[in-house]
Amino acid sequence: MRHALALEYDGRAFCGFQSQRDGCGVQDALQRALATVAASPIAVSAAGRTDAGVHAASQIVHFDTDAARPESAWVRGVNASLPPAAAVLWARPVDDTFHARFAATARHYVYLLQNRAERPALLAGRVGWYHRPLDLGAMQRAAARLVGTHDFSAFRAAECQAKSPVKTLVRAQVRHDGTLIRFEFSANAFLHHMVRNLVGALIEIGSGRRDADWIGELIATRDRTRGAATFAPDGLYFCGADYDARFGLPATRRDVLTTT
């Protein structure tokens, strides 16, 4: 039987989502915990593979097992075996046609940036940091130009394995609450390091080193070497994915600031 679950985690405790030889990935920890409950090995697939230091408010995962367990076992039982930095939020049986990665119609990320002269302490490791004032309006104007279907090669990591750099960004917004700036992105799919590279470019514009038109010029170059540096992983959160209603899943998106 196939099951889907939602998982939250603090990326600082792991070397990324994907399984690693030394077992330090979120996937490794989750598979070990699931195997404890199922009393047999279990492999999982996820909606998005986050890098080391990147967090998740709602990572969607599916797995197959012949073990008959109540839904509570796949939540509380698995959580009892997971490290403190990860927790299952819900689990549901799903149709065999469901696939956490390939059935997703959209994915959502939020980047949180502390914008003040002093480095963060209470939020260290959970937000990015930029020490000089940023022009919110300039970043908002630039972000609006990102929306649409583009070749995002200029924001793609060299080691990216995606078959195509063409993605459709349906949301790119910048908001602030005091000294905390939120960058919000939604797309059909993302390239490796794409969000962190987008944030780096928007900060270049917000700092005044580039104008808002530069973002369009950068897209047109399709040249990663012309872009800004990849911004730190600390403030990046995978906030969920969208799926067809026929799968009958609970909420698959969670906002990073209002998680309850």
Tell me which residues are annotated as active site. 51
Number of other residues whose CB lies within 10 A of the CB of residue 4: 26
Question: Quick one: the chain helix, strand, coil %, rounded to 5?
Answer: 25, 30, 45
**3-state secondary structure string across 48-84:** CCCCCCCEEEEEEEEEECCCCCCHHHHHHHHHHHCCC
CB atoms within 10 A of CB 40: 11
Looking at residue 32, the DSSP 8-state letter turns out to be H
- Closest to 87 in 3D by CA, of 179, 175, 10: 10
The pair phi, psi for residue 174, each rounded to 5°, is -130, 125
Q: Could you give the CA distance from residue 7 to residue 85 in angstroms, rounded to a whole number? A: 11
Question: What's the maximum distance between 2 C-alpha atoms anywhere in the chain?
Answer: 59
Pair of tokens at residue 125 = 């490791």
Answer for the pair 55, 238: CB distance below 8 angstroms, yes or no. Answer: yes
What distance in Å separates the CA atoms of residue 43 and residue 31, rounded to the nearest whole number?
A: 6
